[in-house]
Chain A
Amino acid sequence: MLNFLAKRLVQIVPTLFFVSVLIFSLQHLLPGDPALVMAGEERDPAVIAQIRAQYHLDQPIPVQYVYWIKGVLSGDFGESLRNKMPVLELIAQKLPVTLQLAAMAIAIAFLIGIPAGIVSAVKKGTAWDYGANLFALWGISTPNFWLGIMLIFLFSIELGWLPASGYVPLTENWRASLAATIMPAFVLGNAIAAILMRHTRSAMLQVLESDYVRAARAKGLSERTVILKHAMRNALTPIITLGALELGTLLSGAVLTEQIFSIPGFGKLIVDAVFNRDYAVVQGVVLTTATIYITLNLIADIAYILVNPRLRG
């Protein structure tokens, strides 16, 4: 276990290094002189010279990278050109909103995806199975921004049940907060529910054909006990770790969902930054997302080993 952990941690270092190189390189994709782009409308040579000096743009690229990574490692992700606020502070401000949305989306995905997958496997070849498979195809193929718009049309405009946009913090008014986030959370959870359903179905089908399930049936246990106590436990272990890895899908989805529902979270931060050419924020958001993803990947790996005695060694 310790060996595995050490090996995994060692592997993370070069990955993080390449992530940082990738994100640093982004600013060199800007057509023309980055200093001119950063200066925006401002064409004063003194301002451009100051930007060039501030971002070390007059230095060779490897030197620029060293300056940049030194800043990042000490928590300095730069400053937002628009808000004149440190990028890290902006991210810390917006992240909790997206985390609330993500937690609700994951809960919805598990509540729909896992029961649908189990029913589909247990009732293989029946109308239930076809229904669940159709649901999965629908979930995977529906663009979440379209689903969001359609839900707003139905539940906010036609029925008037839920607010079309906006966000209320959970601590301020939990009812209003849930009302404002339930639609975007469903939009985000829908696609993950479909993925979870497919994985649960195939894991359950595999487990249901295994010898120990046959033995449990031979002992005369009821089908309910066989499925809930024996099959499900083993089938769901990898699924739960998979749920953690769907964070990438969640964060990608949050970009558009937050835009549609005007939720001031992490996703909206990157879109606003893109439109305001606030490149330090774009870099900061991508770096934070990648770091969270790599960390969760590691946690999922460790959790998988912890729950699977055969892998502990």
Chain B
Amino acid sequence: MTDTAFPTSASLAAAETLESPARRAWRRLIRRKGAVLGLAVIALFILLAVFAPLIVPYDPIATSWSLVRKAPSAQHWFGTDELGRDVLARVVYGARASLLAGVISVGIALAIGVPLGLVAGYRGGFIDALISRITDAMLACPFLILAIALAAFLGPSLGNAMIAIGVSATPIFIRLTRGQVMSVKVEDYVEAARAMGNPRWRIALVHILPNILPALLVQATLSIAAAIIAEAALSFLGLGQQPPAPSWGSMLNAAQRFLTSAPWMAIWPGLAIFLVVLSFNLVGDGLRDALDPKAR
């Protein structure tokens, strides 16, 4: 009876060891105010993107010559742009392009980078040297310059921008996965799995991959932030989302020409990029701390 009312340190320690790693990481993540704030802002932007038609009463591509560059008002909270379109509606719909680009391009980078990193780190030898040199070559080209070059050659569209950003972000995941695999593959439990006669693919997928997931998760979160900025940059240059579809980057490009007469056109899309990127960075930092084995 006393034991249930006043848990001893031994029972607490037992509870801690019984807790699954994912649950423990989540518990530690939500203790961090910055990460919780980041998660809340990301959730808000996801809701805005999904329910955009229910939230804003205006069509983001409907032009109106009587509403050209109107300052923020009760009818148009964020004002209107050079074609009389509602800036709030365009910011809300623009979240779709940005969030999609962030998630899909990092998905592409993970889909190519993780298998290559696993093979390089686990197999070693010639295949590792080959993959590593190709990775070095890609890392030698600055991320955005490579993405711009790829997008330029692929042709301007949101889909091609996602491919360009995803391919440009791939070497980071190859290098990270390779490094992680090399440190995990000498662990006793991997040796034991090998001694039991498990095939290589099974060891890599069942025994190694789950143990490198935390590092990949942190990098993926931080990469989404970088990918959202990259998509905005490509759209700003006219290589991403094509007009009249709304995108924060292309809105900033148009806003630059009307900075004197309509500064609100530049404030809101920029603020939206900043908030989403900041939130992903906060969650990424929080995840890194929450998943750090040394902090247990």
**Surface stretch bound by A, among B7-15, B82-90, B149-157, B209-217:** B149-157
Q: Which residue in B137, B238, B267 is a CB contact (below 8 Å) of A15? A: B137
Contacts of A18 in B (CB 8 A): 133-134, 136-138
Measured in the bound complex, the distance between the Cα atoms of B128 and A14 in whole Å is 13
Interface string of B174-207 (1 = CB under 8 A from A): 0000000000000000000000000000000000
B108 to chain A, nearest CB (A): 15
In the bound complex, do residue A143 and residue B232 qualify as a contact, i.e. CB atoms below 8 Å apart? Answer: yes
A289 to chain B, nearest CB (A): 6
Q: How many residues of A contact B (CB 8 A)?
A: 53
Measured in the bound complex, the distance between the Cα atoms of B141 and A253 in whole Å is 13
Given contacts A153-B259, A153-B266, A274-B237, contact A286 B278 (CB under 8 A): no
Measured in the bound complex, the distance between the Cα atoms of B144 and A247 in whole Å is 12
A-B interface pairs (CB < 8 A), number: 136
Beyond A17-B133, A256-B144, 20 extra complex contacts between A and B, CB < 8 Å: A15-B136, A26-B149, A29-B150, A29-B154, A30-B153, A31-B154, A138-B278, A140-B281, A145-B232, A146-B273, A247-B142, A252-B145, A253-B144, A255-B237, A256-B233, A256-B236, A259-B237, A271-B148, A279-B152, A286-B149
In the bound complex, do residue A149 and residue B259 qualify as a contact, i.e. CB atoms below 8 Å apart? Answer: yes
In the bound complex, do residue B278 and residue A141 qualify as a contact, i.e. CB atoms below 8 Å apart? Answer: yes
Within 8 A of A (CB), among B199-245: 225, 229, 232-233, 236-239
Contacts of A150 in B (CB 8 A): 266-267, 270
In the bound complex, do residue A248 and residue B259 qualify as a contact, i.e. CB atoms below 8 Å apart? Answer: no
Chain A, Cβ-Cβ closest to B226? A140
Chain A, Cβ-Cβ closest to B253? A145
Q: How many residues of B contact A (CB 8 A)?
A: 43
Given contacts A149-B252, A282-B149, contact A157 B260 (CB under 8 A): yes
B101 to chain A, nearest CB (A): 13
B201 to chain A, nearest CB (A): 27
Q: Does A260 contact B (CB under 8 A)?
A: yes
Measured in the bound complex, the distance between the Cα atoms of B281 and A138 in whole Å is 10
Chain B, Cβ-Cβ closest to A297? B140
Q: Does A170 contact B (CB under 8 A)?
A: no
Measured in the bound complex, the distance between the Cα atoms of B150 and A23 in whole Å is 10
A93 to chain B, nearest CB (A): 18
Contacts of B233 in A (CB 8 A): 143, 145, 255-256
Contacts of A283 in B (CB 8 A): 149
